[in-house]
A and B are shown apart, each in its own frame.
Chain A
Amino acid sequence: MSVADLEKPSVERARATSFYEASARARIRLLLDPGSFVEFIGPEQREVSPHLKLFDLPEQFDDGIIVGHGQLAGSPVFIAAQEGRFMGGAFGEVHGAKLTGLLRAAKEMKSIPVLILLDTGGVRLQEANAGELAIAEIMRAVIEARTAGVKVIGLIGGRSGCYGGGGLIAGCCSALAVSEQGRIAVSGPEVIETNRGVEEFDSRDRALVWRTMGGKHRRLIGGAELFADDTVQAFREAALELLETTSGFGIDTLNAEQSRLEDRLQRFGACRDAVEIWAAEGVPDAASVPALPADQFIELADKLRRIARDAR
């Protein structure tokens, strides 16, 4: 049997499996080459949160994040995946340290890229200080890894979206792929509503939430480089493409990113709603964007513009 034959059932499964619905472990299993994943600090080591038992809350053996290495189309990668269903994928002390450690290992190795499957509501309330520190450490570790020449790719399409510190980490990555279900922001809908009032943002208006924070919007305004259909296979292909196309990192990149963001603010700062931004971006029938099937949307987004590769 050839290698291609061996891979076939896995590809079919990856194509049939919703990234949004899959567990973090299933995402890793189907995203990487079959059987190639090796976990660091696996569940059998029971490296659980030291804080949750103080709150009489259940622990998870992997503290809600899986880290390890494997192969993607035959090349080595580091990979981390958050489990968005355990405490909303939130960052705690151990959870954060596992990701920091992985990124530092990548920095040492210099040449092996990192895939981060973000699925998080932000920092875990029960270990807020440790969680906030973890976010800062991870952001630093991402930048240091990138400085050392490592590509750090964020893949976002899980149940908990990518909020709070997760949104900050996503902003530090070399490149992002996002699906329609994926949401990227710092403050979540409920937080905005609580602080600014329902007139500013109605968190129960899910169409509003998605067109403000959802994957399609992020792709159209350049917040994410690629839009992926909601299958594990689509995310695998997106990761491969981003690894191929993402360029290096230095002061020029940051300057380019700065001017990209300034330009964005200038062009869309006065818009009241995402639909206005899409129209200003030249989308012919802007209101129809949320209903567009993935393939048609990707075609549209690609036609509008490929994101400048020198930024980020």
Chain B
Amino acid sequence: MRNWQQGRQARDARIEAGAKLAKGKIVEARDATRLMEAVIRPGDRVCLEGDNQKQADLLCRALLAVDLAKVNGLHMVQSGIVLPEHLDLFDRGVAKRLDYAYSGPQSARIARMLFGGKIELGAVHTYLELFARYFIDLTPQVALIAAVSADRDGNLYTGPNTEDTPTVVEATAFKNGVVIAQVNEIVDKVPRVDIPADRVQFVVEADKPFFVEPLFTRDPGAITEGQILTAMLAIKAIYAPYGVQRLNHGIGFSTAAIELLLPTCGERLGLKGKVASHFALNPHPALIPAIESGWVEQIHCFGSEVGMDDYIRARSDVFFTGPDGSLRSNRAFCQTAGLYACDMFIGSTLQIDLRGNSSTVTTSRIAGFGGAPNMGADARGRRHPSTPWLQAGREADPDGSALLRRGRKLVVQIGETFGEKNAPLFVEKLDALALAEKLKLDLAPVMIYGDDVTHIVTEEGVANLLLCRDANEREQAIRGVAGYTDVGRNRDKKMVQHLRERGVIRRPEDLGIDPLDADRSMLAARSIKDLVRWSGGLYAPPSQFRNW
């Protein structure tokens, strides 16, 4: 007779081994490594919570220190490879195989380790994909998570940066896994229960708060005239004519410029209430002036942002907050919202090719995908109509039957034709292809596929790819806004002129914009201090962003 309870029994055995180190569910920080050795088995699938924002750093260090005879060859399934220790695990042999989504700060080292064979790569995912696989074929046996506080029963308060935690716990706890949480403090009563105690087996109190980085803070002082120009173009050529109300913004300076132009330029264009009112977005400090000016109805957040807690608490009409008043973020839900309920994604990238494929990969860096591909993709399962979605669908297929025609999400790439260190934004061949060849990957790491991209905005103009009728038109439309890059200079001038006459390409002057008017005085805030002022003193920026 087959034993149908093997998983449960294995889980009980792990918990029993760990319980020897615990008082109730509480384990001292100094015993954290021994807890790992007791609970984790060689080859286990382990999710070490590494979100965009919060990091289970204490548990990571504890895992790094294990006796390799007891714990080795782990299969890490985590969304973010963010801390150096995340990769030290592979250098030391604690872990062997990796499935992940995002590796921003570690992108250069992860590329070297992949190439050197230190890491056996499963795949690089988008957040939603990896979360989906937690429930199908990458379910963790052990999850090491981070929370702000726990009570003695193990109820967790994850605070404003709830992010991935509910998803990770759901997959682990309900499929015979063990959940270990590090918390900043153990309290008598948590402010709100984000994770119920019966899903948490062990709690470790950390000696210092988990690591959080301000990833979404863009100093208005660093926004250039070029970025202001592209932002003005985007507002006039896309936000206004499509009436985009539901959207997601990337984290670059061009979109920060848009956020800061809404209360000035946008107001003058009479767009208030007509565009940019509902967001799937981290709480960008640059959005404060637009919120304060009454532009924004509501924002659902993937995670929080350092320094925004008090502001969010005081603006619960706009943000999702718990009964305790603090932000409740949730990456899985917000990604889903961005995919299905937003009519536009607008963001920057590092390279765009002649078909509109874009990538943030360079030959020496693998930054991963994070959420951009889900934001920046048409949702084929979408069925509800909206004005911008229908209009984009009509532009793409003007002759099709209105009742059978699919709408299109607006997927906008915005950037200057030359980026940092004068690297061209437009290229004949993406570095991602060279990387895929070098690492013998099945797929080149493309962030957003060309057939999902609807518009490209640069300082030279806006290309509406929905209006292109064949691959050649598309290529020339892209070349036509590629400025003085090689791609831009090799344009077919006649054809580009023809595309401009058809409105496929629109120059600043076609939109009534004089590039010489793009001036920093148009920004609603020109410094971090201005943002603090707009917030009525509620925004408390971290020290590295202050000049006062």
Interface residues of A, Cβ cutoff 8 Å to B = 16-18, 21, 180-181, 204-208, 210, 214, 216, 290-291, 293
21 A-B pairs within 8 Å (CB atoms) are namely: A16-B521, A18-B526, A21-B526, A180-B529, A180-B547, A181-B547, A181-B548, A204-B544, A205-B543, A205-B544, A206-B543, A206-B544, A206-B546, A207-B548, A208-B543, A210-B546, A210-B548, A216-B548, A290-B548, A291-B537, A291-B548
Given contacts A18-B526, A21-B520, A293-B533, contact A214 B543 (CB under 8 A): no
List residues of chain B with CB within 8 A of the CB of A21. 221, 520, 526
CB neighbors of A among B493-548 (8 A):
520-521, 526, 529, 532-533, 537, 543-548
Chain A nearest Cβ from B219, distance in angstroms:
11
List residues of chain A with CB within 8 A of the CB of B533. 293
Given contacts A16-B521, A291-B532, contact A206 B537 (CB under 8 A): no
List residues of chain A with CB within 8 A of the CB of B529. 180
List residues of chain A with CB within 8 A of the CB of B545. 206
Cross-chain contact B526 with A207 (CB below 8 angstroms)? no
Dominant SS among interface residues on chain B: helix
**Nearest-CB residue, chain B, relative to A291:** B537
Bound CA–CA A210/B545 (angstroms): 12
Q: When A and B form their complex, which 5 residue pairs have the shortest distance between CB atoms, in order from nearest? A: A207-B543, A206-B546, A207-B546, A290-B548, A180-B548
CB neighbors of A among B86-115 (8 A):
none
Can you name 19 extra interface pairs (CB under 8 A) apart from A207-B548, A210-B548? A16-B521, A17-B521, A18-B526, A21-B526, A180-B547, A181-B548, A204-B543, A205-B543, A205-B544, A206-B543, A206-B544, A206-B546, A208-B543, A210-B547, A214-B547, A290-B546, A290-B548, A291-B532, A291-B548
List residues of chain B with CB within 8 A of the CB of A214. 547-548
List residues of chain A with CB within 8 A of the CB of B537. 291
Bound CA–CA A210/B546 (angstroms): 8
**Nearest-CB residue, chain A, relative to B545:** A206
Chain B nearest Cβ from A236, distance in angstroms:
18
Interface residue range, chain B: 10 to 19
Contact bitstring B156-175, A, C-beta under 8 A = 1, else 0 = 00000000000000000000
List residues of chain B with CB within 8 A of the CB of A180. 529, 547-548
Chain A nearest Cβ from B96, distance in angstroms:
36
Bound CA–CA A6/B546 (angstroms): 38
CB neighbors of A among B412-458 (8 A):
none
Chain B nearest Cβ from A211, distance in angstroms:
9
Bound CA–CA A311/B221 (angstroms): 37
Chain B nearest Cβ from A158, distance in angstroms:
12
**Nearest-CB residue, chain B, relative to A202:** B543
**Nearest-CB residue, chain A, relative to B543:** A207
List residues of chain B with CB within 8 A of the CB of A205. 543-544
List residues of chain A with CB within 8 A of the CB of B547. 180-181, 206, 210, 214
With a 10 A CB-CB cut-off, give which of A180, A206, A208, A290 has the most chain B CB atoms: A206
Contact bitstring B215-239, A, C-beta under 8 A = 1, else 0 = 0000001000000000000000000
List residues of chain B with CB within 8 A of the CB of A16. 521
List residues of chain A with CB within 8 A of the CB of B543. 204-208
Bound CA–CA A207/B529 (angstroms): 12
Chain A nearest Cβ from B523, distance in angstroms:
11
**Nearest-CB residue, chain B, relative to A180:** B548
**Nearest-CB residue, chain A, relative to B529:** A180
Bound CA–CA A181/B221 (angstroms): 12
Bound CA–CA A21/B522 (angstroms): 13
Contact bitstring B250-290, A, C-beta under 8 A = 1, else 0 = 00000000000000000000000000000000000000000
Chain B nearest Cβ from A26, distance in angstroms:
12
Bound CA–CA A210/B543 (angstroms): 10
**Nearest-CB residue, chain B, relative to A214:** B548
Chain B nearest Cβ from A182, distance in angstroms:
10
Chain A nearest Cβ from B547, distance in angstroms:
6
List residues of chain A with CB within 8 A of the CB of B521. 16-17
Chain B nearest Cβ from A281, distance in angstroms:
18
Chain A nearest Cβ from B501, distance in angstroms:
39
Bound CA–CA A210/B544 (angstroms): 11
List residues of chain A with CB within 8 A of the CB of B526. 18, 21
Bound CA–CA A82/B303 (angstroms): 44
Bound CA–CA A32/B547 (angstroms): 27
**Nearest-CB residue, chain B, relative to A204:** B544
With a 10 A CB-CB cut-off, give which of B221, B521, B548 has the most chain A CB atoms: B548
Bound CA–CA A291/B544 (angstroms): 15
Bound CA–CA A180/B526 (angstroms): 15
List residues of chain B with CB within 8 A of the CB of A293. 533
Bound CA–CA A293/B534 (angstroms): 12
List residues of chain B with CB within 8 A of the CB of A210. 546-548
List residues of chain B with CB within 8 A of the CB of A206. 543-547
Chain B nearest Cβ from A14, distance in angstroms:
13
Bound CA–CA A291/B529 (angstroms): 9
Chain B nearest Cβ from A290, distance in angstroms:
5
Bound CA–CA A181/B527 (angstroms): 11
List residues of chain A with CB within 8 A of the CB of B544. 204-206
List residues of chain B with CB within 8 A of the CB of A181. 547-548
Bound CA–CA A291/B526 (angstroms): 17
List residues of chain A with CB within 8 A of the CB of B546. 206-207, 210, 290
Bound CA–CA A103/B500 (angstroms): 58
List residues of chain A with CB within 8 A of the CB of B221. 21
Contact bitstring B3-37, A, C-beta under 8 A = 1, else 0 = 00000000000000000000000000000000000
**Nearest-CB residue, chain B, relative to A293:** B533
Bound CA–CA A199/B258 (angstroms): 40
**Nearest-CB residue, chain B, relative to A205:** B543
Bound CA–CA A16/B264 (angstroms): 15
Chain B nearest Cβ from A213, distance in angstroms:
11
Bound CA–CA A181/B547 (angstroms): 6
List residues of chain B with CB within 8 A of the CB of A290. 546, 548
Bound CA–CA A293/B532 (angstroms): 11
**Nearest-CB residue, chain B, relative to A290:** B548
Bound CA–CA A204/B547 (angstroms): 11
**Nearest-CB residue, chain B, relative to A215:** B548
Chain B nearest Cβ from A218, distance in angstroms:
13
Chain A nearest Cβ from B333, distance in angstroms:
35
List residues of chain B with CB within 8 A of the CB of A207. 543, 546, 548
**Nearest-CB residue, chain A, relative to B533:** A293
Chain A nearest Cβ from B438, distance in angstroms:
35
Contact bitstring B37-76, A, C-beta under 8 A = 1, else 0 = 0000000000000000000000000000000000000000
